[in-house]
Structure 1
């Protein structure tokens, strides 16, 4: 049996009541034109918590204390093509407390930023993120999700 390495990423759904903050992806080469929560790769030497705090700061300019990150789910995800770049483990968090006002910090990577009700998300949302957001809306999200496996 071959073993593969996975690429970890951290996602943060900033919540304001029943609303979630979403960015419109652009010029990244991945899911451009789709709405997404602030997220990014866990870098060498970082924990998923540290990456989540850093990504939110870099993408929307707010500060979150690691203790204010609420774990939601972990998603083991595959592109099903056997390529290492498409083997992922995603850590999803929510946060309802932060310092600062969200604003678009990387206009070269996102062209929109807005709050959306979980009942009325924009179209399209990055598919694996849409799955998690639907679980947040319904309260039906499992602790661990396998996505893309047969």
Structure 2
């Protein structure tokens, strides 16, 4: 059997692009890949969990902010080869808009969480700049 026909292991994740007052909520990653870089809140989808439920859970775990799943809208699936240096990852990204900035509290694998002005974003980890740009269009 050719190695081209062996199924690739694909990991399933969910990310959240949370907006408020022309800002987006980002977390500073606590470990590699991209340790100390800013990224969207998100992470692995657990067994038996939907990406929608995972996005709300990860948002809360990493920032302390709760957004009901009914308020999250899907931005899309992002599956470019090489988007994650650990291997093949497919993420489903969701977005929501809060009426005002809410103070985040970093938790889980985030060493910091803060709101960044959309006009002055740092260099983001993974393909998260592309995900933010797609969410802005919606």
User: Do structure 1's residue 17 and structure 2's residue 18 form an aligned pair?
Assistant: no
For the residues of structure 1 that align with 2:25 and 2:82, how far apart are their CA atoms?
26
Cα drift, residue 53 of structure 1: 1.0
Cross-structure match for 1:40 = 43
Cross-structure match for 1:144 = none
Q: TM-score, normalised on structure 1?
A: 0.76
Cross-structure match for 2:121 = 121
Name the count of aligned residue pairs.
Answer: 132
User: Do structure 1's residue 91 and structure 2's residue 92 form an aligned pair?
Assistant: yes
Task: Name segments (4+ residues, structure 1) moved above 4 Å.
Answer: none
For the residues of structure 2 that align with 1:121 and 1:5, how far apart are their CA atoms?
32
Give unpaired runs (5+ residues) of structure 1. 142-150
Cα drift, residue 11 of structure 1: 0.3
User: Do structure 1's residue 78 and structure 2's residue 62 form an aligned pair?
Assistant: no
For the residues of structure 2 that align with 1:5 and 1:56, how far apart are their CA atoms?
25
Cα drift, residue 136 of structure 1: 3.4
Q: RMSD of aligned C-alpha atoms?
A: 2.5
Cross-structure match for 1:58 = 61
